[in-house]
Amino acid sequence: MVVDNKVTELNLRKKMKHLSGKCIVITGASSGIGKEVLDRLCDPAKKNRILACSRTIEKLTGYDKNVTLFNCDVSTKDGVDQMMEKAEQVLGTIDVLIANAGAPYYEKFDYVNWERIQNIFNLNTISPIYTYTKYLKHLNGREGHMVFTISAMGEMAIPGYTLYAATKFAMKGFQEAVRLEAPKNLKLTAVYPVSTATNFFKVGAGEIDVGHPFPIQKADVVAERMIDGIEKAKKHVYPCRVFKPSKLLMNTIPPIKSVYWGIEKKRLKRFLEKKAALDLKLAEKIKV
Give all domains of the chain, ordered by start, each with its CATH number: 13-244 (3.40.50.720)
DSSP state of 113: -
The answer, yes or no, to whether residue 203 has pLDDT greater than 60, is no
Give the mean model confidence (pLDDT) for residues 90-108.
Answer: 96
Mean pLDDT of 148-170: 96
Q: What angle, rounded to 10 degrees, do the helices at 254-287 and 243-252 form?
A: 110
Secondary structure class of 91 (helix, strand, coil):
coil
| Distance from C-alpha of 68 to C-alpha of 232, rounded to nearest angstrom | 26
**Which has more pLDDT, 179 or 16?**
179
Size of the chain in residues:
288
188-195 mean pLDDT: 95
Whether 89 and 138 have beta carbons less than 8 Å apart is answered as no
Which residue, 130, 202, 113, 223, is CA-closest to 160? 202
Kindly indicate the confidence band of residue 8, based on its pLDDT and cuts at 50, 70 and 90: very low
CA distance 97 to 90: 14
pLDDT tens digits, one per residue of 223-271: 999 999 999 999 999 999 999 999 899 999 999 999 999 999 999 999 9
Please name which of 124, 180, 129, 178 lies closest in space to residue 153, comparing C-alpha atoms. 124
Q: Are 117 and 163 in contact (CB under 8 A)?
A: yes
* Rounded-to-integer distance, Cα 63 and Cα 170, Å: 35
**Amino acid, res. 90:** V
Distance CA 55, CA 40 (A): 21
User: Residue 15 pLDDT > 60, yes or no?
Assistant: no
DSSP code at position 190: E
Residue 101's pLDDT is 96
Q: Model-level pTM?
A: 0.89
**pLDDT digits 0-9 by tens, 29-44:** 999 999 999 999 999 9
CB 64 within 8 A of CB 42: yes
